[in-house]
């Protein structure tokens, strides 16, 4: 027999929005960075701006003889300032709705989904190493005429001085101080895909 869910009172969405925004503020998100959609049985909370997903907290602490991989967790130095941890936000929303009244009724009647708009397609930090060999589009300032130009090719490397791109089999070096941005190109549709 399914569990019964208490009827939701008038104004429950406003109450839920207030609790979710308060939880988001505690996690460092501004009101402008959080959108809330109520979709029959689901609440979708979307975080824009700088967001990341940390490793979930283990439900059972590891035994002393179990190894925990260091790369399973973010190093605090790698997290951009002002970022919102999506996992922490999800836990904060659950906690904010964990009361004996309207919050609990909302949580029982709705699945809560916390998501982001997606990762930026602009290469930064460790992404330079991760995307070696991938197609990129680099915008750069041409030092000869001060015009902004674009170069498309495969990323060979980025070192302290140059960003190296393979354009149709020829290696091109762009001085890093002239590079405005390098982005991954938009995904191409495959034949037969709609």
Could you give the angle at the alpha carbon of 39 between the alpha carbons of 47 and 194, nearest 5°? 80
- Output 162 or 101, whichever has higher pLDDT: 162
Q: Which two tokens stand for residue 84?
A: 């919102």
pLDDT of residue 102: 85
- Output 1 or 129, whichever has higher pLDDT: 129
Q: Can you tell me whether residue 38 is helix, strand or coil?
A: strand
Could you give the angle at the alpha carbon of 193 between the alpha carbons of 138 and 167, nearest 5°? 25
As a whole number, the mean pLDDT across the chain is 80
Q: How does residue 108 score in pLDDT terms, banded at 50, 70 and 90?
A: confident
- Mean pLDDT within 177-189: 84
pLDDT of residue 192: 59
Reported as a single tens digit per residue, the pLDDT across 111-161 is 888 888 766 678 888 788 888 999 999 999 998 998 999 999 999 999 999
193 pLDDT above the threshold of 70: no
78 pLDDT above the threshold of 80: no
Range with the poorest average pLDDT among 8-12, 68-72, 153-157: 68-72
Question: Cα–Cα distances in Å, from 89 out to 10, 28, 149?
Answer: 26, 9, 40
Reported as a single tens digit per residue, the pLDDT across 25-57 is 998 888 888 999 998 888 999 988 777 766 544
Residue pair 27/93 in contact by the 8 Å Cβ criterion: no
pLDDT of residue 140: 94
Residue pair 162/174 in contact by the 8 Å Cβ criterion: yes
- Output 146 or 69, whichever has higher pLDDT: 146
């Amino acid at each position: 027999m399914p569990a019964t869910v208490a009827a939701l009172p008038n104004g429950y969405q406003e109450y839920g929005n207030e609790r979710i925004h308060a939880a988001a503020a505690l996690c460092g998100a501004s009101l402008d960075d959080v959108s809330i959609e109520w979709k029959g049985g689901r609440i979708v909370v979307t975080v824009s701006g700088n967001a990341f997903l940390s490793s979930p907290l283990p439900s059972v602490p590891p035994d002393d003889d179990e190894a925990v991989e260091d790369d399973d967790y973010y190093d605090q130095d790698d997290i951009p300032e002002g970022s919102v941890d999506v996992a922490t936000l999800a836990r904060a929303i659950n906690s904010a709705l964990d009361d004996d009244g309207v919050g609990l009724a909302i949580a029982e009647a709705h699945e809560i989904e916390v998501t982001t708009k997606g990762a930026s397609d602009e290469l930064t930090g460790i992404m330079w190493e991760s995307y070696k060999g991938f197609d990129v589009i680099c915008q750069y300032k041409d030092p000869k005429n001060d015009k902004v130009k674009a170069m498309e090719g495969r990323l060979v490397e980025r070192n302290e001085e140059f960003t190296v791109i393979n354009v149709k089999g020829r290696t091109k070096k762009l001085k890093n101080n002239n590079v405005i941005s390098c982005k991954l190109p938009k995904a191409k549709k495959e034949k037969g895909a709609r």
